[in-house]
Amino acid sequence: MELSVYKIDGTESGKKVTLDSEIFGIQPNDHAIYLDVKQYLANQRQGTHKTKEKSEVAYSTKKMGRQKGGGGARHGSIKSPTYVGGGTVFGPKPRDYRFKLNKKLKQLARYSALSYKAQENAIVMVEPFSMEAPKTKEFIQILNNLNANGRRTLFVLPQISENIYKSSRNLENVNVITIDEINTYEIMKSYQLVLVDGVQDIIAERRK
């Protein structure tokens, strides 16, 4: 797949790049994408949820009434789950939701996601650029020039650029990451990918 490389003003630079067909042109594997996204979301969970059980509620342990002859059910204490404010039965406990996936499976999922974007013509290549200072207005203008504003866009840089990141962090539909942070979830979540020229070479090199 061949793409034109654009300047930040929206005009073509005259350079064209060919995307690796073994990365951007494979038959997408939906199940691999599902597993990778599931793992990513599971790994974001803190797992610190907790409710108090009967033995942990700070109430009196005094018996509510006599065992028999009261005309009602038998109750041991106000900590019982049948009372409002009593302990919770089978409530959530702290746990670790993380799980592991095979590296090749995660790689297949990323390549499948990238191939989907290539099939949808949702990849824009832009030549390397820098910003002298964090300017959100300037970054919005760049997005407008690339017809990428107003849609959920994933901006992928070959290396970290603090000024570009700070210029974009107040924009709800824009996420700027480096090639080291790219993952299946962010790719599938975005409507359009904006790749800085050179990112595709790094991805191809890491495949070897």
Give per-residue pLDDT as tens, 126-153.
Answer: 999 999 999 999 999 999 999 887 789 9
Residue 83 resides in a domain: no
What integer pLDDT is reported at residue 207 of this predicted model? 80
User: Containing domain of residue 195, as a range?
Assistant: 2-27+102-207
Task: Give the pLDDT confidence of 1-49 residue by residue, as tens digits.
Answer: 789 999 999 898 889 999 999 999 999 999 999 999 999 999 999 999 9
pLDDT interval class at 105 (50, 70, 90): very high
Residues 6 or more apart whose CB falls under 8 angstroms from that of 147 comprise 10, 124
Looking at the 3D structure of the chain, how many domains does it have? 1
Q: Is residue 107 part of a domain?
A: yes
Residue 14: CB atoms within 10 Å: 8
In a domain, 179, yes or no: yes
Domain at 14, CATH number: 3.40.1370.10
Q: Say what the pLDDT of residue 28 is.
A: 96
Alpha-carbon 74 to chain mean position: 51
Asked, for residue 144, whether it belongs to a domain, the answer is yes
76 confidence band (pLDDT: 50, 70, 90):
confident
Flag whether 150 is in a domain. Answer: yes
Yes or no: say if 135 and 55 are a contact pair by the CB < 8 Å rule.
no
